[in-house]
Structure 1
Amino acid sequence: MAGEGVSVELYVEVQQFYARQMQALDSGKYETFAETFTEDGLFTHTPTRPAASTRAGIVADLYDFHAGAATDPVQRRHWFNMITLVPLDDGTIESTLYALVLRTRPGGQPEVTFSGTARDVLVRLDGRLHNRSRTVTHDGQR
């Protein structure tokens, strides 16, 4: 069941949105990832880093965050699941999901390097979903 008052079509659309978004991030296509946010979007992903705001700020933050990994052959995969959606009267959608990040090194086994939740506010621009904001909370974070 997608959730009370949520159509199957919307639930599938959100899943497809997240699939495209996370595949862009995992492929190092930070500009493409940032384009999934509104122009004034806010992205909070790591407790020790300030939130990134605006598409340009999100791109800059991601390049800085991953700077040390430029020569590292590790593959990261973001996995989103257990998505709940709450459509609001103003047309936005609150989305809460579980997130895992897997890391695999050449010849190695996958390992879970992150477990937590993401809380998104999704909006529709020109008929397509975009993140107005994302706040990631790490499991065990107080």
Structure 2
Amino acid sequence: MTDHVPAELYARIQQFYARQMGLLDDGRPDEWADTFTEDAVFQEASRLNEPLRGREAIRESSRARKKRLDADKIDFRHWLGMLSVTPEDDGSLRARSYALAMRVPRGGELDVFASVVCHDHLVQVDGDWQVRRRDLHHDGSGRH
């Protein structure tokens, strides 16, 4: 096993994240949830006591988030960078990135809401990449 993936695959993973985060930021929670496997686990240690388990739990949480943002008239954006992608022996991938979550009340000023380290386990399902597990660690939490 090498510690990196070929450039073409790296570019595909960057495109996956651009699409995935775009779906979330564009208020399309159902399509965003479909980028996770049926049995996905979403752990945001500083915000959730228990991880979200399964695509449908992720979907419901995302729908509720969209409703809150719409009600509060807040635009939300994610910026991912410093992406590293490493292959696993079984063909899956491990991805690590930094993410900034930003919110802007309509007519207001930008607020960098959170800075996190994102650890994903990616698998191919019917030729597309999906997240099997996502672990988010907020800066300042002491976890990386």
Q: CA deviation at 1:114?
A: 0.5
Counterpart mapping for 1:35-74 below 5 A: 35-45=34-44, 47-49=46-48, 50-74=50-74
Counterpart mapping for 1:1-142 below 5 A: 4-45=3-44, 47-49=46-48, 50-142=50-142
Distance 1:19 1:51 in 2: 24
Unaligned 5+ segments in structure 1 are none
Alignment length (residue pairs): 140
Distance 1:79 1:102 in 2: 8
Distance 1:33 1:99 in 2: 17
Task: State the identity as a percent.
Answer: 36
Deviations along 1:17-44, one digit per CA (max 9) or x if unpaired, are: 0011111111221111110011111111
Unaligned 5+ segments in structure 2 are none
User: Over aligned residue pairs, what C-alpha RMSD do you find?
Assistant: 1.7
SS of match in other structure, 1:90: coil
Distance 1:5 1:91 in 2: 13
Distance 2:105 2:60 in 1: 25
Q: CA deviation at 1:111?
A: 1.9
